[in-house]
Amino acid sequence: MDAALQAFGVAMSPLAVADMLGLDIAWRMRRVRVASRPADVRYIDIPNRLCEAGCLGRKTGAGYCQYAAGSNAR
């Protein structure tokens, strides 16, 4: 996906941006908003599962992508 987006001139895919920011940021927002959102609005479970497994993005070395230890390269 990243290569296809880069071919169109996109510097970073949405998933790479999420990894850079930290998946736990949006996870906290989803947990706070769950009580106030309409019952028919649901979130995709994949980001929650990644966070529960400790995969929070670049800061932990894994998120949607896996990163080499001490490196920002995938």
38-71: b (≥16 Cβ within 10 Å) or e: eeeeeeeeebeebbeeebbbbebbbbbbebeeee
Considering the four listed CATH numbers 1.10.1040.10, 3.40.50.1000, 3.30.565.40, 3.40.50.11890, the one that applies to the domain covering 17-74 is 1.10.1040.10
Percentage of residues of the chain with pLDDT beyond 70: 93
pTM comes to 0.76
72 pLDDT above the threshold of 60: no
Domain ranges of the chain: 17-74
Q: Give mean pLDDT, residues 40-63.
A: 92
Convert the pLDDT of each residue in 13-30 to its tens digit.
899 999 999 999 999 988
